[in-house]
Structure formats: structure tokens, C-alpha cells
Amino acid sequence: VAAGILLDVSPILTALVAAVLGGVAIEILRSRGSTAGDQALALVFYTGIALGVVLVSSAGALNVDLFQYLFGSILTVTRTDLLMIATLGAVGLGTIGLLYRALAGIAVDEEGARVAGVPIGALNVAVAALAAVTVALSMRVVGILLVAALMVLPVSAASRVAWSMRSTLVLSMVLGLGSALAGLTVAYYADLPPGGTIVLVASGLYVACMLVAAARGR
């Protein structure tokens, strides 16, 4: 975002590039074993924030409304953004569909997949890049600081009540989409921030799934 402001280009484009590079860097640091996953995430995340502050300051744009990027503002989403989100979203879903069996094998038994000749390193980097693209595309709606919650909560909720990996995948998408639609509806009629409202709805669905799982004795 800061690079886009400094270079006077679309912040979402520069955010996409930076997010993919950061996601790949995190995966490389984690896979080599030199840095734990959470440490690599913290290193890249906070270094990126610090670099962003320096770039924005250098551009003399500290008065730029960064709130919309941190916490989201759906009113700032343009037709170009929607087209980009739809295109890259379709590419991401298609990639997951093509690589589903290999990714499922890695998730269930990484060592077994390695022995079977699955290119684990390349697939992990691809997943990291797709996750980074998701973060960059979602920042206009829910914000950089809240997008992680929207990525984690639907999956965590689905895993509480689903009965297989495939059902978890489908249910998590349904819960994520439902959270977004319900959150936007509530935010519109109650005049609330859309990003925070969407995440609150996702949190509520997670609690509901926990209660259902507890009632079923899981």
C-alpha cells in the first residue's frame, strides 16, 4: 500500500506483489527450519509495517487515510478492484481444484506425500502465494488487520462440525461467504464498519459451531 502511494500507482497492485513476496519468504524461512513459522510471520509482518511507515513518511503522505486499508472500507472498492478480485479468485479456486489431491495428501501425511514424490516445497510455496493474494484482495473490504480472522474463523468453525476434509473445505467456504453477506447486511442497516461487522459475524458462527460440536460430544 505504501509503495503504491509513493509510486502513485494502484495500492492494491503493489499490495499484491508485496503480499506474494512476503508469503513466499515466510514459507522459505519456515521450510528451511531456520525460523519457526510464527517467528517468520512476525518477522515479515512487522518489517513490512515498519517499511510501510517509512515509505509513507518519505512520500509526505502521512495524512493519507490509511484507516480504510487497515480496517477496510467497502465504499472504496472500484469496478477494477471487483474485476481483479473475481479473476484472481477464479484462478485461486481453479488451482486448488487441480491440486486438491496433492494438497490433501500433504495435509494428512506430509512425509508419506514426500515419499510418494509429491513436490511438497513447490506446493507449499504455491499455497503461501495464494494465501497472500487472498490477504491483498480482501484488504479493501475487511482490512489488513482483520483479514486473518476471516481466513481462520470459517475454517476453524467448519472443522468443528464437518465429517471429512472435503466437507470441511466446502463448509468453510459457505461459512466465509455467509459471514461476508450477513456482515455487510448488518453493517448497512445498523451503520456499522463492514470489516469489523463481518469478522464479528464469523466469530459468532464459530461459537455456534463450537456449541453444536459440544452437543454432539465432539
Here the cell at position 173 is 467456504
Residues 92 and 214 sit within 8 Å (Cβ to Cβ): no
Q: What angle do CA 108, 98, 24 make, to 5 degrees?
A: 70
Lowest mean pLDDT across 48-52, 89-93, 159-163, 193-197? 48-52
User: Is there a contact between 20 and 133 (Cβ–Cβ < 8 Å)?
Assistant: yes
Intra-chain end-to-end CA distance of the chain, in Å: 43
CA atoms within 13 A on the CB side of 22: 22
Report the sign of the C-alpha dihedral through residues 78, 84, 89, 92, in that order: negative
Q: Which residue has the higher pLDDT, 61 or 155?
A: 155
At residue 13, the pLDDT reads: 80
Residues 29-81 have pLDDT tens digits of 777 766 666 777 778 877 877 887 777 776 665 555 566 777 777 777 778 87
Instruction: Say yes or no to pLDDT of 186 above 90.
Output: yes
What angle, 0 to 180 degrees and rounded to 10, lies between the N-to-C axes of helices 165-190 and 194-215? 140
Report the alpha-carbon angle 48-49-52, nearest 5: 85
What is the predicted pLDDT for the residue at 46? 77
Mean pLDDT of 22-32: 80
Q: What per-residue confidence (pLDDT) applies to 65?
A: 59
Give me the mean pLDDT over the 23-27 stretch.
82
Query: Across residues 174-203, what is the average pLDDT?
Result: 90
Q: Which tens digits make up the pLDDT trace of 96-119?
A: 888 888 888 888 887 888 888 888
Domain ranges of the chain: 1-143, 146-218
Q: What is the mean pLDDT of the chain?
A: 82
Report DSSP state, residue 164. Answer: S
* pLDDT recorded at residue 32: 74
pLDDT of residue 63: 53
Q: 122-149: per-residue pLDDT in tens?
A: 888 888 888 888 888 777 777 777 888 8
